[in-house]
A and B are shown apart, each in its own frame.
Chain A
Amino acid sequence: MVYLTRKAEFAASHYYHNPDLTPEENQRIFGKCNNPNGHGHNYTLEVTVKGEVDPRSGFVVDLKQLKEVLHREVLDAMDHRFLNKEVPEFSVQIPTTENLAIAIWQRLVSKLNKAQLHRVRVYETPDLFVDFYGEA
């Protein structure tokens, strides 16, 4: 089994707000991230797939296909977007880094053939990242 990681970057804005909570609770839980005008990050995404090395090609996965899926399913949808307003998952969920990692996993998992998705890692800043392994 060999693991391969592909890295990509995207920039997006978001804010954290739960309409079921009072303005005071939202402020207490989310602090500055609750500003409804949003703020932005340069996100770094690392997608790790795993599989056996194909004896003919020497590849775990066709990198070109992985890159295409990554662009189509994630970057085209999220790069230079306001996540709360333009990405459907976040009309109901709060676009935290945790939920972003889960959403990206769900967008990728059914689209990859041959290689198996192992991990989605999303860096919100160099000091904060979330890993999702598809665990329930």
Chain B
Amino acid sequence: MKAHLTRRYMFSASHRLHSDAMSKAENAATYGKCNNQYGHGHNYALEVTVSGPVDESTGMVCNLLDLDRFVQREILQRFDLENLNNRAEFIETIPTTENLCTAIYDILQRGFTHAHLDKVRIEETMMNSFEYAGE
């Protein structure tokens, strides 16, 4: 029997949305308040969905301890209470939540081997959220 398991994590980070390829006026028009040169922050909610057959011996898709340990080490330690613009993942891309979704998906896809990765979903605020399923 195949089940899909979703775990939710919280982290806080700052960012500034700004493209060097755009003029000052274009940046302001595209990113609005998010272009403020000093940056601003969010409490992000991250949902990681994995799937697979339910192991008959454990009753689990994967052991939550493994998922929690991986996310803690590879994602939360990397991004929590950091300025996303300073992170290596965002040297060439703008730390929008779209790009944050794909960056986190790639980290999980490369390193988490205990279950199939279905999807990464991030709530930037209570009013908006983004999903990436590797498409």
Residues of A bordering B, CB below 8 Å: 16, 18, 20-21, 29-31, 93-99, 101-102, 126-133, 135-136
Expressed in whole angstroms, the minimum distance between the Cβ of B18 and any Cβ of chain A is: 33
Q: Complex: how many Å from CA A135 to CA B4?
A: 10
CB pair A136 B1 closer than 8 Å: yes
The answer to whether B103 has its CB under 8 Å from any CB of chain A is no
Expressed in whole angstroms, the minimum distance between the Cβ of A101 and any Cβ of chain B is: 6
Chain B residue numbers with a CB within 8 Å of A95 are: 59
Known: A94-B59, A130-B5, A130-B6. 9 other contacts (CB 8 A): A18-B57, A95-B59, A96-B59, A98-B59, A127-B7, A128-B5, A128-B6, A132-B4, A133-B2
CB pair B8 A96 closer than 8 Å: no
Q: Complex: how many Å from CA A132 to CA B5?
A: 9
Known: A31-B65, A94-B59, A135-B2. A102 touches B8 (CB 8 A): no
Expressed in whole angstroms, the minimum distance between the Cβ of B34 and any Cβ of chain A is: 28
Chain B contact-residue range equals 10 to 19
Chain B residue numbers with a CB within 8 Å of A130 are: 3-6, 61
CB pair A29 B2 closer than 8 Å: no
Chain A residue numbers with a CB within 8 Å of B128 are: none
Expressed in whole angstroms, the minimum distance between the Cβ of B125 and any Cβ of chain A is: 17
Q: Complex: how many Å from CA A96 to CA B5?
A: 11
The answer to whether B72 has its CB under 8 Å from any CB of chain A is no
CB pair A99 B59 closer than 8 Å: yes
Known: A127-B8, A128-B7, A128-B64. A20 touches B57 (CB 8 A): yes
The answer to whether B37 has its CB under 8 Å from any CB of chain A is no
Q: Complex: how many Å from CA A128 to CA B58?
A: 17
CB pair A131 B3 closer than 8 Å: yes
The answer to whether B54 has its CB under 8 Å from any CB of chain A is yes
Which residue of B3, B7, B49, B65 contacts A102 across the interface (Cβ within 8 Å)?
A: B3
Chain A residue numbers with a CB within 8 Å of B49 are: 131
Closest A residue to B63 by beta carbon equals: A29
Expressed in whole angstroms, the minimum distance between the Cβ of A19 and any Cβ of chain B is: 11
Expressed in whole angstroms, the minimum distance between the Cβ of B75 and any Cβ of chain A is: 15
Known: A127-B7, A130-B5, A136-B2. A102 touches B64 (CB 8 A): no
Chain B residue numbers with a CB within 8 Å of A93 are: 59
The answer to whether B60 has its CB under 8 Å from any CB of chain A is yes
Chain A residue numbers with a CB within 8 Å of B59 are: 16, 93-96, 98-99
Expressed in whole angstroms, the minimum distance between the Cβ of A46 and any Cβ of chain B is: 12
Closest B residue to A93 by beta carbon equals: B59
